[in-house]
Structure 1
């Protein structure tokens, strides 16, 4: 048997490929995203019209908001970004499961005292709350069982303010399945007819840490992102995984076999817009990610964030590319060509041509400027992004 590698030129967008995807999304391409936060939510919602076969590897290392309350209570990975992506990819039509979608998307009040908020969860478990009464059995019974697991394990001091019911269901399912996320993610995907695959990149309860240009180290995603703390005022030079404040070897956190297979099956790999370190690079840290990507003979595309990213302070476009390549090369080998890990950088036409040229000069990676934004120069046009990715497959 002889193996050959074929290449092709791509027109961006390719109207024929886009029309074919829109006409048969169930046969759409397997586009894999290494993404974490909310920056890809609107694109994911639009993507359902182009393909039901996208895959999303999500960081479980978030330490902010409702996810952090659950992490502190149950010593578990973060589930907020996973739940958010599941909802973005769910079938929201009348043919889907709108009652279950409404339940998973419901949030408790932010300014109410804790006892009545716990009482609302108890009403869900009892089956008397309007949101659970609208869900038919046996799905309703399964959801109630997960929430019961959560309530039994929740400390009396648990802070229910602003809690996502979907997050509480995920936490209960995690506890009910031997502290594993994959089974409950699979079940939730089926409950709301998710048009794609959503997984945690690993099923580990770890934190993120960064090293700054001045030598300082900061631990915790919420400290890094600047969303719930003062923004970092010194450039980040490196991201790492840590446990109990101590850096750990990425090799001790291997990429699960099921996720290696998901990457190998992809028709295109995308490093999408999002907070550079805590949303994108964080997914590339586990052992085996770089090696698996390097072996794939598919386009590997970076679409950088628009506007100001507090995590990319002082970093030019070529520096952001370097930040993504660093953990991949650390895993795959420093002699692996950059183009085996990232084949294209696709920017909006507003990007400085000199910045694009620097990417190619430093890394040998082609960098293209394309019209990708809406009337708001800091927001991508989600259909243009979807059409662009579909055209490259």
Structure 2
């Protein structure tokens, strides 16, 4: 293993910070590549108001990788309550990122400035400097645009792709994103929503090509729970199949998969209404795709939900690096 291995983690949503928090404490060179296709919640409102890259996922990762007084991160994460009229539902950090984007002229430079201010350990790269639109074709042939619309459709997805904000505009990756992938010792996908957090990064053409060219070991962290309207009835091998298919080549070397049982009576399915049943493991089907399944108890039960144990995942990633 290199003295300071270069790890690139790809995704978005709330899953990435769980893994990032323990990773940034290790002797590694960490880069997070973050989706810019979100169009829901505070991020979606700001995107519609001032046409900026949605800042929510970026904010969460800035906080996860920062090394500042906790009071600063609390302010970044503070969300105005519903009685605050115009500011209702907005996170303070989203407004700060929006302001910095206007000041610097683009999201990429804004994030690099904020990363210095928040003493980020590693690098945070929005996958593109422009907001992207996620499109999905479902198994029944229907096509829907927009990440939130796709999620709420609750239908079986066949494949996804992204375009620029303007009709016919091709998505373009930030050059630093491509270089980070090519230089990496390890690429980590997830954890997070497969079709709406991970794949929107993967299908950007320059990113897609870099993922097929890089010599890095590639690891997929399989979700613990199936996601309604995205991965209903998916095994870990079916998650892997969709990921490899969108990359265009079976590049994934390892699948980290939780095999600890999630108690049915623990999860609050009303609070976590986007999930359904636990993902089952299919080691034989993973092997057919040229990957090694790494099963283990990676489960953390909290807040009436099932989450990855970031510390255990971090140790497994380092073990893979040591043995490669």
TM-score range, shorter chain: 0.7 to 0.9
Aligned to 1:168: 95
The one of 240, 246, 249 aligned to 1:327: 246
The one of 312, 317, 322 aligned to 1:389: 317
Q: Of Structure 1 and Structure 2, which has the larger fraction of its residues in helix?
A: 1
1:10-46 CA distance string (max 9 Å, x none): xxxxxxx8xxx9xxxxx64321111110012222222
Q: Which runs of 5+ in 1 are unaligned?
A: 1-16, 22-26, 115-158, 330-335
Classify 1:352/1:104 alpha carbon distance in 2 versus 1 (closer, same or farther; 3 Å): closer
Q: How many residue pairs end up in the alignment?
A: 300
Secondary structure of the residue aligned to 1:68 is helix
1:352-377 CA distance string (max 9 Å, x none): 55x1211222x222223223223579
| Cα deviation, residue 52, structure 1 | 5.6
Partner Cα distance (2:231, 2:41) in 1: 22
Secondary structure of the residue aligned to 2:137 is strand
TM-score normalised per structure 2: 0.85
| Cα deviation, residue 219, structure 1 | 1.6
Preserved contact between residue 235 and residue 315 of structure 1 (Cα < 8 Å) = no
Secondary structure of the residue aligned to 2:83 is coil
Aligned to 2:80: 108
Q: Which runs of 5+ in 2 are unaligned?
A: 261-278
Aligned to 2:134: 208
Classify 1:322/1:368 alpha carbon distance in 2 versus 1 (closer, same or farther; 3 Å): same
Preserved contact between residue 77 and residue 203 of structure 1 (Cα < 8 Å) = yes
Preserved contact between residue 47 and residue 386 of structure 1 (Cα < 8 Å) = yes
Map 1:372-383 onto structure 2 (within 5 A).
372-374=298-300, 378-383=306-311
Preserved contact between residue 52 and residue 195 of structure 1 (Cα < 8 Å) = no
Partner Cα distance (1:110, 1:352) in 2: 39
Partner Cα distance (2:27, 2:142) in 1: 44
RMSD: 2.3
Partner Cα distance (2:130, 2:254) in 1: 31
| Cα deviation, residue 278, structure 1 | 0.5
Preserved contact between residue 37 and residue 275 of structure 1 (Cα < 8 Å) = yes
Partner Cα distance (1:243, 1:176) in 2: 22
Aligned to 1:37: 13
> Does 2:234 correspond to 1:300?
no
The one of 47, 52, 58 aligned to 2:34: 58
Aligned to 2:276: none
Aligned to 1:217: 143
Preserved contact between residue 97 and residue 192 of structure 1 (Cα < 8 Å) = no
Aligned to 2:257: 347
Map 1:184-263 onto structure 2 (within 5 A).
184-226=110-152, 231-232=153-154, 234-242=155-163, 248=168, 252-263=170-181
Map 1:131-170 onto structure 2 (within 5 A).
159-170=86-97
The one of 76, 79, 90 aligned to 2:66: 90
Q: Of Structure 1 and Structure 2, which has the larger fraction of its residues in strand?
A: 2
Aligned to 1:315: 234
Preserved contact between residue 97 and residue 191 of structure 1 (Cα < 8 Å) = no
Partner Cα distance (1:375, 1:68) in 2: 30
Partner Cα distance (1:357, 1:57) in 2: 30
Secondary structure of the residue aligned to 2:306 is coil
TM-score normalised per structure 1: 0.71
1:159-194 CA distance string (max 9 Å, x none): 31121121111111111222x111110111111111
Preserved contact between residue 32 and residue 263 of structure 1 (Cα < 8 Å) = yes
Secondary structure of the residue aligned to 2:57 is helix
> Does 2:288 correspond to 1:369?
no
